[in-house]
């Protein structure tokens, strides 16, 4: 009787492993808190599956996928990056909108006054200003555009501290390595910021920069995995949309 029992245990164990699936997702750094929460909700409904999240600048993710990085889904803060990969055949699903992002001015300095808006950059207490690197980070590009629209970019350029991505940029301000800066609204609404005394921010008028249209798609690597399609579709559910809106993303 022992042999059949041990065989049954082995079969059940293999069945459990086979039912589980794992994918790796690269996402723009502005999604760190929102997508982590979406992930938690997804895993409540799909407890046997596993999602590995990697966050960074959208431009770096683009180049990594072009060079064969084994990411199954790509979330970019710049839809054009996803469209480029689609044309090249590096992603297999048509690029889909997941949100439109917003940028804010934020500081932990006691003299920061949200009501002053861009005039905060001209105050004596401001010596270092953080934005994400405009060369490869979409939020940095939009920050630069907004500052140029206000005719301030050249005057403050010597004070700029460039973050590798928007998450690092927010870290510069949070640690007061920089006095003030421009970050994603989603990060200003994150628990680590909104639950502190320095939760005030100034929402930049979206007309001052090109729209932050953000998109995602399944990569060529992820196209063979059913879990990729399942999570891809989950992003359009009511549960996912409510979480995204909670972090200031416009989902329509």
Nearest to 101 by CA among 235, 206, 180: 206
- Alpha-carbon distance of 70 to 1, in angstroms, equals 45
- pLDDT higher than 90, residue 3: no
SS3 of the chain: helix, strand, coil, percent, to 5: 50, 20, 30
The mean predicted confidence, pLDDT, of the chain is 90
* pLDDT (0 to 100) of residue 191: 79
pTM: 0.84
Angle between helices 166-174 and 138-149 (to 10 degrees): 70
Quick one: pLDDT at residue 197? 54
pLDDT at 29 over 60: yes
Task: Evaluate if residue 243 carries a pLDDT over 50.
Answer: yes
What pLDDT was estimated at residue 2? 45
Mean pLDDT of 140-154: 97
Summarised one tens digit per residue, pLDDT across range 169-190 is 999 999 999 999 999 999 999 8
Residue 131 has pLDDT above 50, yes or no: yes
* Domain made up of 101-208: CATH architecture: 3-Layer(aba) Sandwich (3.40)
Query: CATH 3.40.190.10: which residues of the chain?
Result: 2-100+212-246, 101-208
Model pLDDT, residue 10: 47
Residues 204-224 pLDDT 10s: 999 999 999 999 999 999 999
The answer to whether 30 and 163 have CB atoms below 8 angstroms apart is: no
Would the pLDDT of 232 be above 60?
yes
- Binned at pLDDT 50, 70 and 90, residue 9 comes out as very low
User: Which CATH architecture is the domain 2-100+212-246 placed in?
Assistant: 3-Layer(aba) Sandwich (3.40)
Give the pLDDT confidence score for residue 63 in this predicted structure. Answer: 96
Smallest CA-to-CA distance from 228 within 237, 236, 219 is with 219
């Amino acid at each position: 009787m022992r042999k059949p029992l041990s065989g049954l245990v082995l079969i059940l164990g293999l069945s459990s492993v086979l039912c589980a699936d794992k994918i790796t997702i690269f996402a723009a750094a502005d999604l760190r808190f929102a997508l982590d929460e979406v992930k938690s909700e997804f895993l409540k409904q799909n407890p046997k599956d596993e999602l590995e999240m990697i966050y960074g600048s959208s431009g770096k993710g683009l180049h990594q996928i072009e060079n064969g990085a084994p990411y199954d889904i790509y979330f970019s803060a710049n839809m054009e990056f996803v469209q480029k990969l689609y044309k090249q055949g590096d992603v297999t699903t048509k690029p889909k909108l997941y949100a439109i992002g917003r940028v804010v001015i934020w500081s932990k300095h006691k003299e920061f006054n949200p009501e002053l808006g861009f005039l905060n950059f001209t105050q004596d207490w401001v010596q270092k200003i953080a934005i994400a690197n405009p060369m490869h980070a979409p939020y940095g590009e939009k920050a630069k555009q907004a500052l140029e629209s206000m005719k301030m970019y050249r005057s403050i350029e010597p004070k700029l501290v460039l973050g590798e991505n928007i998450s690092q940029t927010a870290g510069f301000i949070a640690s007061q390595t920089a006095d003030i800066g421009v970050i994603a609204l989603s990060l200003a609404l994150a628990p680590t910021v909104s639950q502190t005394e320095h939760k005030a921010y100034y929402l930049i008028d979206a007309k001052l920069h090109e729209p932050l249209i953000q998109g995602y798609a399944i990569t060529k690597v992820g196209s063979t995995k059913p879990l990729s399609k399942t999570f891809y579709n989950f992003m359009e559910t009511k549960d996912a949309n409510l979480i995204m809106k909670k972090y200031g993303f416009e989902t329509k």
